[in-house]
Amino acid sequence: MSKSFRFIQSLSSVKDKIVKSSNATKLRELIFSTEISFIMEAHNGLSAKIVEEEGFKAVWASGLSISTSLGLRDRNEVSWTQVVDVLEYMADSINIPILVDGDTGHGDFNNVRRFVKKLGQRNIGGVCFEDKQFPKTNSFLGENQELASIPDFTGKIKAAIDTRENDDFCIVARTEALISALGMSEALKRAEAYHAAGADAILVHSKKSTADEISGFMREWDNRCPIVIVPTKYFNTPVSLFEDIGISTVIWTNHNLRSAITSMRETTRQIYRDKSIRVAEGNIASLAEVFSLVNMDEIDAAEKKYSA
Ligand code: SPV
Ligand code: MG
């Protein structure tokens, strides 16, 4: 089954009102497209650039990855303004949209409003808010995390919708009901409430090692709006299954961060052991690649144009 959503027509009516080239529009088109879409994690300007260069059409600005790359915990230790600062570097590096991990919105509905306003000013494509309590803890830590009440969370969604200046700015509502072992009917109830509150898409999170929960959810959901998933724990599931059950968008949420950790460890270990950089040199990016990633050629061209 492809992503054939009943609400697809609403996109074109919305589109008449907005700037067609904005990142919000690009992200919306991706999430609402009839093909399954893939969004790759990045956590700074450099990783965002690599995600773009390797062909992805959008970036996931992961809370786990951004905080870990700053040496901090995924527990709102990074303030929302610090997140926005990181996003600015990321957005400046690329021409594809960013879907931001907005955690719980960094507080109540009012913090959500400030956050969404600042994201819009930086031409961010959209944001995903989750129905946990502030301060949040990563979904893969502990058991039975307490969730926000449905009225509290739908209030945040409505606040985000009322604040966005571009109607295409995507608000993704994420339910942790399955992760918190509240059961399928609670997950469906929450997803329906968030959809009714105006969320553009629902992220259903699961920490099972198979996609059974997600498949069960999709059978009941019946394409009411796009569904986004994070298959970090059910990584063995073939993408064809996600396509068959009608998933809209898959987020590979932390794989650049984890890849960087492995690679940096190997290089550091090798150099420490060898007391030399000779072997390591053959296994790492060349300086030419480093300069290319930040577009040094452009400086040469600009110098010719502007420098006396
Ligand atoms: C993140 O990347 O920060 C996420 C996804 O929220 S997860 O770590 O799976 O909760
Ligand atoms: Mg997160």
154 CA to centre of ligand 1 in angstroms? 21
pLDDT tens digit sequence for 65-117? 999 999 999 999 999 999 999 999 999 999 999 999 999 999 999 999 999 99
Q: Which position has the token pair 């507080």?
A: 107
- Ligand 1 binding pocket includes 101 (Cβ within 6 Å): yes
pLDDT of residue 302: 97
Atom of ligand 1 nearest to the CA of 205: 9
Q: How far apart are CA 197 and CA 156, in angstroms?
A: 9
Please report, as a single letter, which amino acid is at residue 173.
A
- Ligand 1 binding pocket includes 254 (Cβ within 6 Å): yes
**How many helices (H) and strands (E) are present in the chain, helices listed first?**
14, 8
pLDDT of residue 19: 42
DSSP for 190-248 reads: HHHHHHHTT-SEEEE---SSSSHHHHHHHHHHTTSS-EEE-TTS-TTS-HHHHHHTT--
Which among 74, 101, 168, 200 is annotated as catalytic? Answer: 74
252 CA to centre of ligand 2 in angstroms? 12
Q: Model-level pTM greater than 0.75? A: yes
- Ligand 1 binding pocket includes 76 (Cβ within 6 Å): no
| CATH 3.20.20.60 domain position(s) in the chain | 19-254
- Ligand 1 binding pocket includes 137 (Cβ within 6 Å): no
119 CA to centre of ligand 1 in angstroms? 19
Tell me the CATH architecture of domain 19-254: Alpha-Beta Barrel (3.20)
Atom of ligand 1 nearest to the CA of 230: 9
Nearest ligand to the C-alpha of residue 229? Answer: 1
**Helices 80-93 and 109-121: angle between axes, nearest 10 degrees:** 20
Share of residues in the chain with pLDDT > 70 (%) = 93
233 CA to centre of ligand 1 in angstroms? 11
Contact 70/25 with Cβ under 8 angstroms? Answer: no
pLDDT tens digit sequence for 3-24? 555 444 445 444 444 444 699 9
Q: Which position has the token pair 């950089």?
A: 277
Q: How far apart are CA 192 and CA 195, in angstroms?
A: 5
pLDDT of residue 3: 57
Q: How far apart are CA 214 and CA 119, in angstroms?
A: 30
pLDDT tens digit sequence for 269-291? 999 999 999 999 999 999 999 99
Q: Which of 83, 123, 88, 90 is closest to 105 using CA atoms?
A: 83
168 is catalytic: no
Atom of ligand 1 nearest to the CA of 62: 2
pLDDT tens digit sequence for 41-58? 999 999 999 999 999 999
Separation in Å, CA 173 to CA 67, 104, 192, 244, 305: 21, 10, 10, 23, 47
pLDDT of residue 246: 98
